Amino acid sequence: QVQLVESGGGLVKPGGSLRLSCSVSRFIFSDYYMAWIRQAPGKGLEWVSMISSSGDTLYYTDSVRGRFTISRDNMEKSMSLQMNSLRAEDTALYYCARGNGFGGNEYFDYWGQGIQVTVSS
Amino acid sequence: IVLTQSPATLSLSPGERATLSCRASQSVGSFLAWYQQKPGQVPRLLIYHASTRATGIPDRFSGSGSGTDFTLTITSLEPEDSAVYYCQERSKRLFGGGSKVEIK
């Protein structure tokens, strides 16, 4: 069974930084686009960032571009999200998800359990 | 692209049919997916390419539509279908705001 496990969340002050990681198993990681999707408390789903299978194409939603950086290590079968200049509105449950589509046009067929990020003073 | 889902909440009895709508502000072709999120759980892919059921999804879930208007139909509701349902288009990875299905 495909597994995705997030780590690295926590409580951080506004303006601070946090690095999320996603470790995967039981599929060929290097074949798939990977994404971060978040869900603020009591709210809907919001796609945040995505990285191509090779790691050479990066995608960001407008609200995080310039503050967040997505990366991946295909040898280690892991993906990361470096989050800088965090704001209260970044508070959410962050999911790691596997893309299933073509050339950046992706659906998300497997999701991790999510990791909480709370930005508060 | 903006995805607008309706109704916001639907309250039905077991055995009834649920019809959920997702309207796109511009054509997305057939490139639309539906997800189910039960309370406290991870979202699950139900339908992709507007009408193709994902692996393991019961056939009481069906999707239809193309262009700007899409429908998720749940025939013969079961208590475990109580959830929020989201649509998603794949070119910009955008999600709709969700529709909550409550089982009476």
DSSP H or E stretch at residue A49:
strand A45-51
B23–chain A nearest CA distance, Å: 16
pLDDT tens for A24-51 read: 999 999 999 999 999 999 999 999 999 9
Residues near B62 by beta carbon (within 8 Å), at least 6 away in sequence: B47, B51, B53, B72, B73, B75
pLDDT tens for B37-92 read: 999 999 999 999 999 999 999 999 999 999 999 999 999 999 999 999 999 999 99
- A81 — phi, psi (to 5°)? -135, 110
Q: What length does chain B have?
A: 104
Give residue A108's pLDDT.
Answer: 97
Distance of CA B60 to the CA centre of its chain: 12
Set of chain B residues whose Cβ sits within 8 Å of the Cβ of A47: 88, 93-95
The answer to whether residues A106 and A33 touch, using CB atoms and an 8 Å cutoff, is: yes
Set of chain A residues whose Cβ sits within 8 Å of the Cβ of B20: none
pLDDT tens for A51-89 read: 999 999 999 999 999 999 999 999 999 999 999 999 999
B34–chain A nearest CA distance, Å: 9
B94–chain A nearest CA distance, Å: 6
Q: Which residues of B touch A (CB under 8 A)?
A: 31, 33, 35, 37, 42-45, 48, 54, 84, 86, 88, 90-91, 93-98
Residues near B1 by beta carbon (within 8 Å), at least 6 away in sequence: B24, B25, B26, B28, B89, B91, B92, B94
Q: Does A104 score more than 90 pLDDT?
A: no
Q: Could you tell me the CA-to-CA distances from A33 to A50, A97, B18 in Å, in that order?
A: 7, 9, 33
pLDDT tens for B30-48 read: 999 999 999 999 999 999 9
* Interface probe with B: pick from A4, A27, A108, most Cβ of B within 10 Å: A108
Q: Across the strands, what pairs with A46?
A: A38
Set of chain A residues whose Cβ sits within 8 Å of the Cβ of B88: 45, 47, 107-108
Distance of CA A102 to the CA centre of its chain: 19
The sign of the torsion formed by the CA atoms of A9, A37, A119, A56 equals: positive
* Interface probe with A: pick from B1, B41, B93, most Cβ of A within 10 Å: B93
Name the maximum alpha-carbon separation found in chain B: 36
Residue B70: closest CA among B57, B54, B89: B89
Q: Is A46's Cβ below 8 Å from some Cβ in B?
A: yes
How crowded is the C-beta side of A44, counted as CA atoms within 13 Å?
Answer: 20
Nearest chain B residue to A49 by CA: give it: B93
The answer to whether residues B10 and B103 touch, using CB atoms and an 8 Å cutoff, is: no
In 3-state terms, what secondary structure has residue B70?
strand
Q: Band the pLDDT of B27: cuts 50, 70, 90.
A: very high
Q: Is A3's Cβ below 8 Å from some Cβ in B?
A: no
